[in-house]
Chain A
Amino acid sequence: MSDSAREVLLDIQGLEVHFETRRGIARAVNDVDLQLYKGERFGLVGESGSGKTTMILALLHMIKTPGLIAGGRAIFDDGTDLLSLRGDEVRKNRLRRVAMVPQGAMNSLNPVMRIGDQISLTIREHGEEGTKQELAARVTQLLDRVELKPEVAMLYPHELSGGMKQRACIAQAISLGPQLILADEPTSALDVVVQRQIMQTLRELQLQLEATVLLVGHDMGLMAQFAERVGIMYGGKLVEVGSVTEVFRNPQHPYTQLLISSIPSFERRGIFKGIPGVGLSLLDPPSGCLFHPRCPQAMERCSRDEPGLTSLGTEGHVSCLLHEKEETHGTSA
């Protein structure tokens, strides 16, 4: 499970997304480096406004003015840079290579089109022709893969339950066998039972397709069950990356530590603490480390120096001055 053993699918380097406002520039995604491996399930966690969704929208060229992709690259395994694609290439790339499972499946289906028609329409839009029967067979097969009955193809979205709608969205997302599936809180509007079933389906499909899934969310429990590796975002920066067991068992960044300790568990009882303070304003970010005003372990130099990315043993990285100091002393966590 070391870096060299696994092939990199997508290499994101220095991704910057800025929103230009009257009051200045908000750096919604701030110099993010991230490598996604082939066939892995990666979880991206962070509080609201930390830039998770913005980051995946940037990969799909869906940032709208006043937002803009201000810098960085996202290199696919064949060498194409997702961020430098132009015009029709962007459109062709969507769904065929990078598919998205939307946040609100409730509203993500066209209310006046039958499910089957919606799925076959997107397939045909990508230049895959076929007779009506062939397309219908394909739709049936896709529905079967997400555990929906063939009859669903003839139904309208309002005739489906929330979970079924989400499954239909997943069927559409996998229709062209994408290598990367971006799932933006796919289960946030569903109850926990359905949530679990959907995540299981997503995991099975991911294994069958050997695709990479980038799951975005703030449900730490869901992440722990689903992901192999997780990344923690704060204020547009990726503050910690590591395997799910490492991050949960032995979090390195003070923000991650507070995040983990705020999850209720059966073992630890007592009063749960939240994280003191409120999320930062992107228009007026603090100097130095973005987290230092809320950090219980903040040192004097945290308000001056911006932390870089420090490697943590096997495959983790952390962006915290506490660890940079350790490195200079030659010890490791």
Chain B
Amino acid sequence: MHRLDQILYYLRENPMLGAGGVLILFIVLFGTLGPLFVDTELARPLSTTSRLAPSWDHPFGTDDAGRDLLSVMVVGVPLTMRVGLLAGTVGLGVGIFLGFTSGYLGGTFDTIVRGVVDTLLTVPGLVVLISIASTIREEISVNIMAMVVASLAWMWPTRVIRAQVLTMRERAYVQMAKLNGMSTMEIIWKELFPNLLPYLAALFANAVNYAILASIGLEALGLGPQNDPTVGMTIYWAITFSALIRGMWWWWAIPILFIGLVFVGLLMIAAGLDELANPKQRKAV
């Protein structure tokens, strides 16, 4: 109880983290508790009257194919979040491993990693994603979608983490840790890693954002999972059936609103984490 008090007190001091947390919590609760109140069967095509504007019966309206958009969002937002979190975690995980080892150890390994990353970064991401996604289009699922996006989400984290490690490797306290007989792995994980936590938190939020954006980009082009009502696929259907010029604003505006909330929430958490993980910025507790 005492611990909870402290956390609540801290969140009052750090409104960014609190607000971002509340936003993401809302999105998560929307996806987890939503099915208890909303009939997810209505997310399937032809399950209700089509082309209805928002009303009390259908708060977010319905689309051309007869889906209830509230149900679509309850099912689709967690799917999209899952793609983002999975791809972001895999991308950042690979980036942390490669970035720390190549930056700290240097040598041939570093040369190879740097060469591969720099080469791949010059290739336009969307082209690669489209070619990967279109070759495996037959059996694409949400998880495969996440892996497709993750295949390009690791280069940027690798590059920036490596650069940070390069500057930190030469700082006096790392040299002292070496002089005090600490082993290489211990220095990487106990000395360097905690110093990069705020940076990694921000990178994670960015990686998730990138992954969500990339997945929505692929989905909007029709390369997503056809049978899952993800947020991106909803936008794809809205584009395909010209929702914009037919005045069906709820069809495109609602998925965009949810994506916006996710982005803002993640960015606020990243900014708030920076304060939490950096004792120089931390206010006295």
Contacts and interface: CB of A to CB of B under 8 A. Distances in A.
Interface of A: 60, 62, 91-96, 99-100, 102-104, 106-113, 121-122, 125-126, 156, 158, 169, 172-173
Interface in B175-195: 175-183, 186, 190-191, 194-195
Interface in B217-245: none
Interface string B162-182: 000000000111011111111
B280 interface: yes
B190 A94 contact: no
Interface residues of B, number: 22
A169 B182 CA distance: 15
A101 B195 CA distance: 23
Contacts of B176: 100, 102, 108-109, 169, 172
B49 interface: no
A221 to B, nearest CB: 26
Nearest to B280: A158
Interface of B: 171-173, 175-183, 186, 190-191, 194-195, 197, 277-280
Contacts of B197: 112
A40 B280 CA distance: 40
Nearest to B171: A107
A99 B279 contact: no
Contacts of B191: 110, 113
A122 B182 contact: yes
Given A112-B279, A158-B279, 14 more contacts: A91-B183, A93-B181, A99-B179, A100-B179, A102-B179, A107-B173, A109-B176, A111-B279, A112-B194, A112-B278, A125-B182, A156-B279, A156-B280, A158-B280
Given A62-B175, A107-B171, A108-B173, A113 B194 contact: yes
Contacts of A158: 279-280
B279 A92 contact: no
A87 to B, nearest CB: 11
Given A111-B195, A158-B279, A158-B280, A104 B172 contact: yes
Nearest to A119: B180
Nearest to A93: B181
Given A107-B173, A158-B280, A112 B181 contact: no
Contacts of A62: 175, 178-179
Contacts of A121: 182, 186, 190
A128 to B, nearest CB: 12
Given A102-B172, A104-B172, A107-B171, A60 B179 contact: yes
Given A60-B179, A95-B181, A110-B191, A125 B173 contact: no
Given A104-B172, A110-B195, A111-B173, A122 B180 contact: yes
Contacts of B173: 107-111
Contacts of B181: 91-96, 122, 125-126
Contacts of A169: 176
